[in-house]
Amino acid sequence: MRSICVMGTGYVGLVTGACLSDFGNAVTCVDIDAQRIARLKAGEVPIYEPGLEEMMTRNIGRGRLSFSTEIPFAIKASQLIFIAVGTPSMPDGDVDMSYVFEAARTIGRYMEDYKIIVNKSTVPVGTGVQVAELIRQTQPGVDFDIVSNPEFLREGSAIDDFMHPDRLVIGAGNQRSLEAVVDVYRPLYQNDIPMVLTDVESAEMIKYAANALLATKISFINEIANICEAYGADVTAVARGMGLDQRIGPRNLSAGAGYGGSCFPKDVAGLAAIARKGQVDSPLIQSINPSNGHQRRRMIAKLRELVGPFSGRTICLLGLSFKPDTDDLREAPALEMIETLQAEGATVRAYDPASMEKAQQLYPNLVCCESPYRAAEGADALVLMTEWNEFRNIDLAVLHSALKAPRMLDCRNLYHPRQMQEMGFEYLSVGRPPRRPGQETPEKTSDWLLGGYMLRR
Ligand SMILES: NC(=O)c1ccc[n+]([C@@H]2O[C@H](COP(=O)([O-])OP(=O)(O)OC[C@H]3O[C@@H](n4cnc5c(N)ncnc54)[C@H](O)[C@@H]3O)[C@@H](O)[C@H]2O)c1
């Protein structure tokens, strides 16, 4: 059985460890956070990720997956070491590489024979060379290879993404290490998953380039949505018309409150910083995050348009996590909304299926409620922040009667404007004309095609 050490038990490390053990490898996941390892050893899964707990339990039971703080032992005992530690943003947007470099020094300190060090963290181009240099300085006498294997999983569908990726990217400096890592992924290779086999630098760059383009698509459609609003067009039709062009594709073209999470904002900032450091002009890349910030503030401005000054108001937020099926609040658009509302004297009532515990820790004054209907009680307006599935079939009539005033800002375009108007809501969404009860509004094609429209959503 191949022995693998995974350094870091965050989203990427845990999912990588669980999936590689499911492939039949003996995997030890290590972390410098002793509390996290203690929780994992006690059978607790510290993140909400569909399917992860079952996979972990299965592989722990078969003796293929374990957790440890004994990093030296795990390094010595493993043939391959996967680095999956954090690479957060520094205040100037540059990438904080201290965790990756510390992991590299630790590997150098304890390795006693040939190792393949596979980097899964998202790192600036050139990191492979720096990591190799650090290891060589710490341990000059032992042979090793560095491989870049960026991770593309999305929180909320991480297991499925790991097992059925669009592609695998593996960048290596020689055939020996390339073949060894390809062999680790043989179960996926047999599933016909395309592989991009390249050099370390190109593999590192692929990850940043891909994330920056995905973020650009979101910001682009958000800016198109704002133009649609000014001229009475419907961004959902525009996005569909664009997305059916195969050169564009339909994904990441939903207008909304802007992107969040632990990857897009920091990776876009990281790429912008990499370009600046390399003295490369990149006006487009430099403007992606500012455009996203503008969109978040635009949602706050829309809410102000709906309720007037925030002071003394009660606002209900449905959905807090940066996207559905995760409890991750990092850089979630809901945070800026909560902070602005609370700073300006509003009471915020909230409901989210997974992230309320984390939100309550961040904002002790947030009123966390057990259901969306409870959260709506007595509120001056409701803001839908995250498109959790359970909100798609919510009982809008119950919400309507729970609210003090039936006003809704739908930041995810989840509901049909005409239907909302007919139910008596004052309804604002993104990139679609506003609807108000009793207001004469020109009919849109989507009004006549209500059934088809609903099916398509
Ligand atoms: N979260 C995602 O959806 C995602 C997707 C693709 C790529 N990535 C990238 O993967 C990397 C990890 O992301 P994450 O979200 O899993 O991070 P995370 O912050 O959730 O977890 C990182 C873990 O690494 C541990 N760690 C730090 N230094 C260590 C060391 N020297 N030895 C052992 N453990 C150490 C930390 O204690 C922490 O538990 C980042 O570079 C990120 O950009 C993340």
User: What is the distance in A from the centroid of ligand 1 to the CA of 8?
Assistant: 6
**Distance, CA 456 to ligand 1 centroid (Å)?**
36
pLDDT per 10-residue tile (average), the chain, 457 residues:
96 97 98 97 91 96 98 98 96 95 98 98 97 96 97 93 96 98 92 94 98 98 98 95 97 97 95 96 98 98 98 98 94 98 98 97 98 98 97 97 98 94 97 90 66 46
Q: Give the separation between CA 173 and CA 171, rounded to whole angstroms.
A: 7
Q: Is 127 exposed, middle or buried (0-12, 13-18, 19+ CB in 10 A)?
A: buried
- Please say whether the dihedral angle defined by the alpha carbons of residues 330, 334, 340 and 342, taken in this order, is positive or negative: negative
If you measure from the C-alpha of residue 33 to the centroid of ligand 1, how many angstroms do you get, rounded to a whole number? Answer: 12
Pairwise CA distance, residues 87 & 217, whole Å: 23
Q: How is residue 178 written in tokens?
A: 């390339």
Catalytically annotated residue among 228, 263, 368, 369: 263
Neighbours of 21 (CB within 10 A): 25
Which pLDDT value is given to residue 457?
43
* Spacing, Cα 11 to ligand 1 middle (Å): 7
Name the segment(s) of the chain with CATH classification 3.40.50.720. 3-198, 214-456
Pick from 31, 49, 85 the residue to mutate for probing ligand 1's pocket: most ligand atoms within 8 Å of its CB: 85
CA of 262 to the centre of ligand 1 (A): 10
Tell me the best of 5, 6, 7, 11 to mutate to test the pocket of ligand 1, counting ligand atoms within 8 Å of each CB and taking the most.
Answer: 11
263 catalytic, yes or no?
Answer: yes
Q: Which residue owns the Cα nearest ligand 1 atom 10?
A: 121
pLDDT for position 374: 98
Ligand 1 atom with least separation from CA of 33: 37
Counting from 1 in the atom list of ligand 1, the atom nearest the Cα of 12 is: 16
Q: 3-198: what fold?
A: Rossmann fold (3.40.50)
What local confidence, expressed as pLDDT, does residue 438 receive? Answer: 86
CATH number among 1.10.238.10, 3.30.360.10, 3.20.20.140, 3.40.50.720, domain 214-456: 3.40.50.720
Residue 267 CA: nearest ligand 1 atom is: 43
